[in-house]
Structure 1
Amino acid sequence: MRGASWLFVVLSAVLCGSAEETSRVDDEKNVTVPGLLTKYGYPVETYEVTTEDGYVLTMFRIPYGKKSPLTEGERRPAVLLQHGLMNSADDWLIIGPDRALGYILADAGYDVWLGNIRGNWYSQKHQDYSPKKDKFWKFSWHEHGIYDMPAQIDHVLNATGHKQIFYIGHSMGTTMFYVGMSLKHDYNEKIRAMFSLAPIAFMNHMKSPLFRILAPLTSVVQFVAAEVVRLRPYTIIVRSRMASSKSLTDDEMERIVNDPPFLQSDEETTADEDEFILSDDDSTSEATSESSCEESDEEACHFRQYNYGILKNFKRYGKATPPDYNLANVTAPVYLFYGPNDWLAGPTDIDRLHNQLGNSKEKNKIEFPKFNHLDFIYGRDAYDFVYKPVLDLMNSYEKGTI
């Protein structure tokens, strides 16, 4: 056994759960975005979008809602929803109608587009090589920002005929936006407004114990990741009662919420009326994970491109360290929403992001002390604290009052 194998064992145990948990969700893997929308009586369209570097991404569209039928000739304002790390378009639907943002926006009269980044279970195709090959997984959030995001924005614009769209991102869905907009300046003009839920850029004031432990061990994590090219972490998936007849006990729920690295204790999310299951649907690359760990280095916190090591950095960037992303180039209107109990997006780091963005309009702290990183997607009060304020802002843009 190689020297770093112990770390891989620890990471596997924390990220992947048990065989018993795997068997519990075997019958749930067919619950997809089209399946959920159809089940609840919403229209759905599926598209494949090819990026400049050959990745084939799957996008879903909800052209109208049950509460807002489409009239003939009507062209609705478009909004692109972008999920976070190790997740998928499922995030915006799985807590069900009247609660999940995808349904809410469609019912409010918006043309809703659900994006998927390369590597997640909806987007494991490439024009030239298979996801079974290591080369497929050689990407980081940099590629999400400069390839995946622009391709999806352009597709929505071409399909709808709009010149601008709204963009809503969660976690890494915000990170890739900052990356793309900082490097592809012309795309700022294609965004009416961007809403950042649990924004991630600077991370040197995060409270997550696991990430703080791993931060000094970046080289070890890189070594392990080189052997395990594709990480398939188990993520919490919340599904409505119509999606499953099985629920976890309170003790199981508490263990799940307190163990994974992207969650923390004192969660606002509850299992009162929902079913919580574990799924290994979504994958990520080792480069994305390494970038996340690297950005948590408190001694030299940067929001910058991927660190390939000194020699490769000189070859790629012309200097020993990667270049920072210039956030002043992000000139699209940005609205920040963050939770006081978010272990990844700390208030000091949010302040720094707010001050460096080229056009940060508002910095909104959720007025609930237990609101955490995943409550933006799964929280029972997400509508009151997040979705309604976002919808009010979008409606203000539509009315021309902003």
Structure 2
Amino acid sequence: MKMSNLSWCTVSLTAVAVTSVLLAYLLGGSHHPTARDPDIDLTTVELLAKYGYPAESHTVVTEDGYILTLHRIPYGKKSPEKANRPPVLIQHGIISSSVEWLIMGPEKSLGYILADAGYDVWFGNCRGNYFSSKHVTLNPSSAEYWNFSWHEMGIYDLPIITDYILKRTGQEKLSYIGHSMGASMFFVMASEMPEYNKKFNFMIALTPAVYIEYCRSPLPKIFAIAGNQLEWLLNLFGIYQILPRTGLITFVGRHICSDGAVTQPICINILDLNVAYNQKETNASALPLILSHAPAGASIKTFQHFGQNINSGEFRKYDYGEEKNLLVYSSRTPPQYDMSKITVPVAIMYGQNDIVVDPRDVVKTKEVLPNVVAYLKVKDEEFTHIDFAWAINAKSLVYEDILKLLRKY
């Protein structure tokens, strides 16, 4: 497969950036990083407890044996404890976890804000991430365990999570907020299992990773350029997972990306290369805290699936190659998800400076969904993909609109 000059440039820049961090740490002078953030070592439940919020951890087992952890804030500090609080499920994006919606603290993170506004808040953790890394029979180090993408998360993970929440709360319906891949998962479920549409009042898609033809982020682009050969090669060397939560990443965050470190600008450049860096909305001092909880891991096949959709320009099932596609789908190409079956009212929010899910792709998602009730562009022109979770002013730019939408629908 032949790469264009731009493709080679993207791959090279990524390699150079990673190498630069290591060299800068080894060769750079001494520095005096700021005091260690005490939240770095805390789990989701511990974070909630620290800030005085009730915290629960729940376990569900999918039909194909994956053991998933759900986190819950049954009520907030600023709203009274009462029965029948409307449940809301928040689903993170790729390589992330439930901590994403709590990491910036009670006044800035969506989880706390929703709980204080009177909602029963649930957080999903998709298969393979730090909190959902077990299986009934499969070894997490095996190829069989990692043989999934966001398709399986949509047809196995979300349905069991939905049913569990409704049973546990005694409610007939819930609302859903999905960020990036979290939106992809929902649309897979609602199109492949349309009976689940009736279980939701409303769905909010934050920068939905559905159509991603114009994606400019290097990692998914590399998978798009290399095709299935990259997945095959990595699997050949026993690599099935990408960007797991490790001590090395935490070390990089604490020492290389901390305030006062001469290498912090390199961390910012790498962040900018991969997801775009919004200087006005990103608290650089929080990088050690963020990197202590993210990334949280994903399967190689999940990234490969996104790479395939970049190439096809469509929202469709996993492409196994013509021969296996005929066996699996009875067609040479994988079928597209039938978005016309999604009847849940949907609100879409997107950022203008998103290099992962380009605004041009978001328009296409809006056009194929039959029941889009709100289509909102974040007012900050520099708003990026990760700003939906970590932006300094996410509350005023995004979360206040989310509250208005939830109250309306």
TM normalised by structure 1 equals 0.86
1:257 aligns with 2:268: yes
Structure 2 equivalent of residue 296 of structure 1: 310
1:37 aligns with 2:48: yes
Structure 1 equivalent of residue 233 of structure 2: 224
3-state SS of 1:156 partner: helix
Structure 2 equivalent of residue 175 of structure 1: 184
Spell out, residue by residue over 1:37-89, the C-alpha distance to the aligned partner (whole angstroms, 9 max, x if none): 01000001111011111111000110000111204xx2100000000000000
**Contact 1:257–1:263 (8 Å) recurs in 2:** no
Structure 1 equivalent of residue 392 of structure 2: 380
Structure 2 equivalent of residue 62 of structure 1: 73
Pick which of 104-113 and 280-289 moved more: 280-289
**Contact 2:223–2:304 (8 Å) recurs in 1:** no
3-state SS of 2:288 partner: strand
Q: Tell me, in whole angstroms, the C-alpha distance in 2 between the residues paired with 1:315 and 1:199.
A: 30
Aligned-residue offset at 1:387: 0.4
Aligned-residue offset at 1:26: 12
Q: Tell me, in whole angstroms, the C-alpha distance in 2 between the residues paired with 1:61 and 1:186.
A: 25
Structure 1 equivalent of residue 142 of structure 2: 133
Which residue among 205, 216, 225 is the counterpart of 1:196?
205
Spell out, residue by residue over 1:144-186, the C-alpha distance to the aligned partner (whole angstroms, 9 max, x if none): 1001111111111000111110100111001101111110001
Aligned-residue offset at 1:268: 4.1
Which residue among 361, 368, 374 is the counterpart of 1:349?
361
3-state SS of 2:196 partner: helix
Mapping of residues 10-29 of structure 1, within 5 Å: 18=22
Pick which of 211-220 and 179-188 moved more: 211-220
Structure 2 equivalent of residue 117 of structure 1: 126
Spell out, residue by residue over 1:104-153, the C-alpha distance to the aligned partner (whole angstroms, 9 max, x if none): 00000000001100000100111111212221110001001001111111
**Contact 1:93–1:102 (8 Å) recurs in 2:** yes
Aligned-residue offset at 1:358: 2.2
3-state SS of 1:135 partner: coil
Q: 1:162 to 1:213 in 2, by over 3 A?
A: same
Q: Tell me, in whole angstroms, the C-alpha distance in 1 between the residues paired with 2:329 and 2:18.
A: 33
Q: Tell me, in whole angstroms, the C-alpha distance in 2 between the residues paired with 1:179 and 1:191.
A: 14
Spell out, residue by residue over 1:251-293, the C-alpha distance to the aligned partner (whole angstroms, 9 max, x if none): 6444323314641144443227645342466121111010111
Structure 2 equivalent of residue 89 of structure 1: 98
Aligned-residue offset at 1:247: 3.8
1:283 aligns with 2:294: no
Show structure 2 runs of 5+ residues with no match. 1-9, 26-32
Q: Match for 1:84: what amino acid? A: G
Spell out, residue by residue over 1:314-344, the C-alpha distance to the aligned partner (whole angstroms, 9 max, x if none): 1111111111011111111110000000001
TM normalised by structure 2 equals 0.85
Q: Tell me, in whole angstroms, the C-alpha distance in 2 between the residues paired with 1:115 and 1:322.
A: 28
Pick which of 51-60 and 215-224 moved more: 215-224
Show structure 1 runs of 5+ residues with no match. 1-6, 398-402
Pick which of 368-377 and 224-233 moved more: 224-233
Spell out, residue by residue over 1:360-400, the C-alpha distance to the aligned partner (whole angstroms, 9 max, x if none): 11211111111000000000111111100010111223xxx
3-state SS of 1:152 partner: helix
3-state SS of 2:49 partner: helix
Higher helix proportion: 2
**Contact 1:8–1:224 (8 Å) recurs in 2:** no
Q: Tell me, in whole angstroms, the C-alpha distance in 2 between the residues paired with 1:208 and 1:120.
A: 21
Aligned-residue offset at 1:302: 1.3
3-state SS of 1:295 partner: helix
Aligned-residue offset at 1:203: 0.9
**Contact 1:268–1:371 (8 Å) recurs in 2:** no
Q: Tell me, in whole angstroms, the C-alpha distance in 1 between the residues paired with 2:163 and 2:87.
A: 12
Which residue among 29, 38, 58 is the counterpart of 1:47?
58
Q: Tell me, in whole angstroms, the C-alpha distance in 2 between the residues paired with 1:62 and 1:20.
A: 41
Q: Tell me, in whole angstroms, the C-alpha distance in 2 between the residues paired with 1:31 and 1:269.
A: 24
Mapping of residues 146-161 of structure 1, within 5 Å: 146-161=155-170
Q: Tell me, in whole angstroms, the C-alpha distance in 1 between the residues paired with 2:321 and 2:344.
A: 33
3-state SS of 2:204 partner: strand
Q: 1:251 to 1:357 in 2, by over 3 A?
A: farther
**Contact 1:15–1:233 (8 Å) recurs in 2:** no
Percent identity between matched residues is 38
**Contact 1:202–1:349 (8 Å) recurs in 2:** yes
1:101 aligns with 2:110: yes
Q: Match for 1:395: what amino acid? A: R
Q: How many residue pairs align between the two structures?
A: 378
Q: Tell me, in whole angstroms, the C-alpha distance in 2 between the residues paired with 1:193 and 1:254.
A: 41
Aligned Cα RMSD in Å? 3.0
Q: Match for 2:392: what amino acid? A: R
Q: Match for 1:334: what amino acid? A: V
Q: Tell me, in whole angstroms, the C-alpha distance in 2 between the residues paired with 1:57 and 1:326.
A: 27
Aligned-residue offset at 1:220: 3.3
3-state SS of 2:306 partner: helix
